[in-house]
Homo-oligomer: A and B are copies of this chain.
Amino acid sequence: MSRDSRLAELDRYIEDNLQAFLDDLAALCALPTVSAQARAIDETASAVRDLLEKYGIQAEVLPTSGFPVVYGRAEGASPRTLLCYNHYDVQPAEPFELWDSPPFEATLRDGKLYARGVADDKGHIVCRLAAIAALRAVYGELPCSVIFMIEGEEEIGSVSLPAFIEANADRFQADACLWESGRVDYEGRPQMYLGMRGDFYVELRARCMSRDAHSGQGGSIFPNAAWRLIWALATLKGPDERIRIPGWYDDVRPPSQRDLELLAAAPEQDEELKQTYGIREFLLGASGLELKRRQIFEPTCTISGIASGYQGPGSKTVLPAEAMAKVDFRLVPEQRPEDLRVKLRRHLEEQGFGDIEIIEHCGYPAARVDPDHPFVQMVAEAGREVYGKEPVIHPMSGGSGPMDPFVRVLRVPIANAGIGYPDSRAHAPNEHIRLSDFVDGVKHTARVMLRLPEL
């Protein structure tokens, strides 16, 4: 049979077996694996191990200092090995009331499958298993060996993963790595992200009294935790979007010439983003190349949550004893969490907010991949074939992930092939995938495995 007719058969297999893959995905999404809330962790790790074994992959659940990693290995016909990094944990589903169907009950509507984790990242686990099933069915064997590293702490900062990788580097030796997710843009072009920003995510807490008071009695004499926190936060960043913590930008490296070329080549998404999020203007009026640069090469300081006192309808005349904020700092190359942690603490103290407690939820640096590595080029070519469009190569993602130990310890080149699109609403209510994207993502992934031996 010719190469092309085998590929056609491969694609047909993927299309014909879609429902079976979606059934497996729906079963995974029924588990509320919210790592931030330590829910259903062991249950999901076991379910993922069982699912890998169902697809003929030797699998086991390995302990870490935190939530376990599911490790899987399938032998292939060539000496080449592909590492698939994924995670089985999901973001919290709150606010529940904004979901049109229950978040942990996969629901099909208009060619889209809705559930928390269906895109990020359980769908990508199933996508890779589907590719393996299709290759074995059509070619009788896997063209390369495939190793799975499926962790359970990605949504809470992959705190245990770096040490786990250092300690288990032997198991994960590979020639290349597919990162946890991939997506197309609004025009259907596959997206590749050659690196990720780092993340330093902290919770700030103010506590000024042992209990709430009446705002009439205490308003002019008692310390107010909400005010303390607001004043402390206001010292971190102002409307000019510049982070005011001394030394925060010391280690920031500007994008290289090659980075700027890639940025310039990537299509503009200004209008699509504005429409999707109902935005009139981007921060600081940025657009075009400057918007693209800011989105990934700028350190951020985002308030992801804040809470104090009464939040219900109407009024409650209370003076709250406690307040908290979640602050998400994204890091660009060469910022280091261990350095920034000290600078944040010192800054708060110098500003008179030494009483604010800092709880660190995660801290890891940014990581980069060489855009000219042959693996990156091969994944792009495979994408061109499946999608019929020119892949977009981004010098880095605005998002974050534990890529540093893959680059530093495992020394693998990394690329993306996946099932998302810009409106997948990862981390938001009504997370979903389009079934057509799922099918394309499986085809792309299978082609990457097919071509790896030729690398």
Contacts and interface: CB of A to CB of B under 8 A. Distances in A.
Given A216-B398, A219-B398, A319 B306 contact: no
A221 B287 CA distance: 9
Contacts of A221: 273, 282-283, 286, 291, 294-295
Contact of A314 (B227, B299, B303, B361): B361
The range of chain A's interface size is 35 or more
A279 interface: yes
A309 B304 contact: yes
B298 A319 contact: no
Contacts of A281: 223
Nearest to A301: B219
- A interface, over-half SS: mixed
- Please indicate which of the listed interface residues A157, A197, A308, A317 has the most CB atoms of chain B within 10 Å of its own CB: A317
Contact of A313 (B37, B91, B310): B37
A317 to B, nearest CB: 6
Nearest to A239: B231
A361 to B, nearest CB: 4
A247 interface: no
B308 A216 contact: no
A209 B92 CA distance: 20
Given A209-B279, A300-B215, A318 B305 contact: yes
Contact of A36 (B294, B295, B298, B314): B314
A208 B316 CA distance: 26
Given A219-B398, A428-B318, A306 B323 contact: yes
B303 A224 contact: yes
A445 interface: no
A145 interface: no
B307 A307 contact: yes
Interface string A73-100: 0000000000000000001101000000
A332 B241 CA distance: 38
A259 B121 CA distance: 67
A213 interface: yes
- Please indicate which of the listed interface residues A212, A321, A352, A397 has the most CB atoms of chain B within 10 Å of its own CB: A212
A5 interface: no
A241 B221 CA distance: 10
Contacts of A321: 277
Contacts of A233: 230
Contacts of A111: none
B304 A306 contact: no
Contact of A234 (B214, B217, B234, B299): B234
A28 interface: no
Contacts of A223: 279, 281, 283
Given A199-B317, A277-B210, A316-B36, A295 B224 contact: no
Contacts of A428: 211-214, 318
A283 B209 contact: no
Interface of A: 35-37, 91-92, 94, 155-157, 197, 199, 201, 203, 208-224, 226-227, 230-231, 233-234, 237-239, 241, 273, 277-279, 281-283, 286, 291, 294-296, 298-321, 323-326, 328, 330, 352, 361-362, 397-400, 425-429
The 7 closest A-B pairs by CB, nearest first: A210-B278, A36-B314, A216-B399, A219-B300, A305-B309, A226-B303, A305-B310
20 contacts: A91-B318, A94-B316, A156-B315, A199-B317, A208-B279, A209-B277, A209-B279, A215-B328, A219-B301, A222-B277, A226-B304, A227-B303, A230-B303, A230-B306, A303-B308, A304-B315, A305-B309, A310-B326, A314-B361, A317-B427
Given A209-B277, A306-B308, 6 more contacts: A91-B318, A155-B317, A197-B216, A215-B427, A219-B302, A224-B303
